[in-house]
Amino acid sequence: MSSWQWIDPLKDPRWPVLVERHPHASIFHTRGWLEALKHAYGFEPAALATGTPDGSLVGAVVFCRVKSWLTGRRLVSLPFSDHCDLLLDEGCDQEGLMDALRSERVRDRWRYVELRSAQGLPRSGTGLVESERYYLHRLDLRGDENELFGKFHKNHVVRKIRRSEREKLRYEEGRSDALLQTFYKLLIQTRRRHTLPPQPIEWFRAVLDCLPEQASVRVAFKDDTPVASIVTLRHRDVMVYKYGASDAAFHALGGMPFLFWRTICDARELGCVTLDLGRSEIANEGLVAFKDHWGATRCHLSYSRDPPVSRGGAATEQFSTVLARRVFSFIPDRLLIAAGRTLYPHIG
């Protein structure tokens, strides 16, 4: 393969080889994650790739083709994924890559192409314009456990972990439907607090089914009452915190710090050297501070689009979001769940 061509990452045997060897590959590049996106939301994965004369891949960018009557037809790399780096070996023809992407967008009339690379992207002459900016936190898990624990904020983390120990919170980790249902009930509460609909439970089932060795549900209990839960993913030596939920009535017990500490201990036992705490909206000062308090390294994460969303389009989307969130704040749970099931296939 001497030029950039489209391949199916779910069928092409070279795709998992590239993902396994490339240093920038993450859980979001794996077939399991792509299969979950396709199964739950109907998004079609496709990768733009190039290779050597013998056919080995030396560069690729993976997308999902999102075809929505509500939000338009888009090439997104990748929906519901915090970041998705370009898997390019040194010397890859990036100019040819951008030309191929631009030709695809024009030919098939995609509304835009979106890239979510944590490594940064060249924008000069590419047509790419920054569309959104977030913080990305990563925690280094290497070194002595006491040294790692000493980096945590004494009041906001250490004190709460000690409180959870005094409360004798109980920890369960696994993939059972009972744990998933427990997580989902807490998720509904959490999303309501944030005036947002929950993701459909079918999405979480797809993640657990398609990533049987990498995805886990972790739950903290006070006696038999669930107080907090998270969903984690693992790829090679990186543990990823992806989703979290909690019962606000029990926040004082330290359930979420307890779960993060147990996850850190489990990750170290599995040989992980990094805990990826995921993206945070820059304006979400509470979430950003929570991740800072663990001693995680914070960097900017930029999403880029070609072409950019017009100011008028962005203003309309913002108005629609504010209006929808007012409605979500008071509708009953069954309608909130139905809203999530209806909307999420359109907003990836």
Query: In this structure, which CATH number among 3.30.70.260, 3.40.630.30, 3.30.70.100, 3.90.550.10 belongs to the domain 137-298?
Result: 3.40.630.30
Beta strands, E only, the chain:
5-7, 44-51, 57-68, 72-77, 87-88, 112-115, 129-140, 170-174, 215-222, 225-235, 238-246, 274-281, 297-306
Those residues with Cβ within 8 angstroms of residue 61's Cβ, 6 or more apart along the chain or in another chain: 47, 48, 49, 77, 86, 87, 88, 97, 101, 115
Q: How far apart are CA 127 and CA 112, in angstroms?
A: 11
Angstrom distance (rounded) from CA 33 to CA 91? 28
Please tell me the chain's helix, strand, coil percentages from 3-state DSSP, rounded to the nearest 5: 40, 30, 30
Q: Where are the domains of the chain?
A: 5-127, 137-298
Topology agreement, domain 5-127 and domain 137-298? yes
Cis-peptide, bond into residue 78, ω within 30° of zero: yes
The structure tokens 């607090």 sit at 193
Architecture of the CATH domain 5-127: 3-Layer(aba) Sandwich (3.40)
**Position 111: which residue type?**
R
Per-residue pLDDT of the chain (348 residues; tens, 9 = 90+): 448 999 999 999 999 999 999 999 999 999 999 999 999 999 999 999 999 888 899 999 999 999 999 889 999 999 999 999 999 998 888 888 989 999 999 999 999 999 999 987 765 566 788 999 999 999 999 999 999 999 999 999 999 999 999 999 999 999 999 999 999 999 999 999 999 999 999 999 999 999 999 999 999 999 999 999 999 999 999 999 999 999 999 999 999 999 999 999 999 999 999 999 999 999 999 999 999 999 999 999 999 999 986 544 444 344 345 556 667 777 899 999 999 999 999 987
